[in-house]
Chains A and B, each alone.
Chain A
Amino acid sequence: MDALGLYNYWIVIFLMMAGFYTVISHGNLVKKIAGLNIFQTSVFILFISMGYVSGGAAPILEEGVTLYTNPLPSVLILTAIVVGVATTALGLALVVRIREAYGTVEEEEIHVQDKDF
């Protein structure tokens, strides 16, 4: 199999690095959450790509079909998506509270304010 044939995994790696870099480099708390989302999504694609069997049909029992894709990774990812949604919701709720308390969502300005204490 040539390197481009596994293009799913190249997408995974690109999204993973893009998301991770956004989390690390951005000072805006909302953008950090967005980066975290992209990072998590890349892992979802990784799992789902793994479950795919070349030429396999969707895993629904049907006559005449013998080759199915593996449904388990998709099921695992349903759980992981729920976890991801909960994380995003909690993260954004915290950002709202932070904005109420500090009047800003920029990390640097928050640091400046905390030094005043």
Chain B
Amino acid sequence: MDQFPALLIVVPLLAAPLAVALPGRRLPWMLATGVSWVVFALAIGVLGRVLESGAISYTMGGWEPPWGIELRIDLLNALVALIVTGIGAVVTPFAGRSAAAEIRPQNTALFYCLFLLTYTGLLGITVTGDIFNMFVFLEISSLSSYALIALGKDRRALTAAYQYLIMGTIGATFFLIGVGLLYSLTGTLNIADLANRLPAVAGTRTVHTAFAFLVAGLGLKLALFPLHLWLPNAYTYAPSAVSAFIAATATKVAVYVMIRVLFTVFGADYSFGSMPLQPILIALSLVGIVVMSLMALNQNDAKRLLAYSSVAQIGYMVIGFSLATTAGLTAALTHVFNHALMKGTLFLALGAVAYRIGTTLIRELDGLGRLMPWTLSAFALGGLSLIGVPLTAGFISKWYLIVAALELGWWWLAAIVLLTSLIAVMYVWRIVEAAWFRDPPAHRQDVKEAPLALLVPLWVLVAANLWFGVDTRFSAGIAARAAEALLGAGP
């Protein structure tokens, strides 16, 4: 039990080289699936401990913090770890059939190795309590996801991965500059220690500069409009399982790091009081939501449409935490949780479509609802959740966000959130209309429903969307407690 936090990182890390050593194509996949379930169980265990007895601190190698690296898990990162591992536990089984169809056979073992390394990186960022360690894990997850994206079939996957590499590295280097400046003032890298020592030097220009570098770097990583340029291509041309996994987890983890830096390291008073961050972030997010939703309307490829919608959805999360109130943070964290579920569902559904017809272009989806009813109805339900229809997970996050906006008396913000949901109705409808209200062309008549190996993971996520749309005790409940802790702990 005590070793769980370390095992969350160590298990996927050790399994990664093992996946390359295993012969054949099925064994690496079985290993990855096993690992994804083990870490999911570990994450549940850790969350249980945190709920029971408060934050866990684990000293790596027995070196006491702030000298050694500390793994520190409170409700916030326990929740994020649960999201990452939960999505992983569903996507990895899906990857078996899906990746076999999209990736060259000789690359299969490497694919699972990279997949596990991405997993390691994301979990490492989530559990660590050391800000330099965070940078290292950020780079582990980024480097392996660049390579994963480059495994896509289309040659544009290569340029997408290259573009992501350039922008991602700039983002990470900005983060590193910020960390360096903070270290030069405080002499510590431990997040809790940093938070204690920063108020004494908060007025200096070095801290202002560090703050700017950290926010800009993380803005690149979480694809905050207008720093999102790498995202649409990367999500579009990556293999289906990778799109689903990265879309549902990588940007969420970046949002987590942003929240951690703004609220734990600098504290809400500094980030949103002394620094004019709130108007900047809210303005950028609002423009981003509107522009990206309109861009989504004009896409020909369903995967690309979802990618643009992802940038818009990130805007909702950023608005949530920029309000810097308990209600706003709760909304942001709930949306992090729910958006992972809905985008996971939608990308997996498209993965199943790509498995059968080899493309996700919207004009090729005509009449597919009749040929693959289970897949496309899962897509429709995921779409409803994305729009925010009552009884789905998406409704809960929109609800919390609107309540948080109204609490501050910002009715215009609530109105924009509602109006942009209407654009979401329009772009989801484009796909639903093509799939369900048109006749399948003659050459598609023999397309069969996706195999069970793809449908089961897909419907597990659909069920989660519906479940967390009704029972919010878990998702919003933990989010609310984490939000209170974040705002209460700030200096």
Which residues in A have some Cβ–Cβ distance to B below 8 Å? 20, 23, 29, 32, 36, 39-40, 43, 46-47, 50, 73, 76, 79-80, 83, 86-87, 90-91, 94-95, 97-98, 101-102, 110, 114
Contacts and interface: CB of A to CB of B under 8 A. Distances in A.
Interface of B: 132, 135-136, 139, 143, 146-147, 150, 155-156, 158-159, 161-162, 165-166, 169-170, 172-173, 176-177, 180, 183-184, 189
A95 B165 CA distance: 11
A80 B176 contact: yes
A101 to B, nearest CB: 4
B201 to A, nearest CB: 15
The prevalent SS among residues of B at the interface is helix
Given A32-B166, A90-B143, A90-B165, A102 B155 contact: yes
B161 A36 contact: no
Nearest to B140: A83
B246 to A, nearest CB: 16
A94 B170 contact: no
B150 A43 contact: no
A73 to B, nearest CB: 7
A83 B132 CA distance: 12
Contact of A46 (B139, B156, B161, B177): B177
B173 A94 contact: no
Nearest to A40: B173
A97 B150 contact: yes
B183 A94 contact: no
The prevalent SS among residues of A at the interface is helix
Contact of B169 (A29, A36, A73, A76): A36
Contact of B183 (A23, A29, A50, A90): A50
State the 4 A-B residue pairs at the shortest beta-carbon distance, nearest first.
A101-B155, A50-B184, A83-B139, A94-B162
Contacts of A98: 155, 158-159, 162
Nearest to B133: A79
A98 B155 CA distance: 8
A50 B162 CA distance: 32
A87 B156 contact: no
A39 B173 contact: yes
A94 B161 contact: yes
A87 B177 CA distance: 17
Contacts of A83: 136, 139, 143, 172
Given A90-B146, A90-B165, A94-B150, A101 B183 contact: no
Contacts of A23: 166, 170
B169 A40 contact: yes
A97 B158 contact: yes
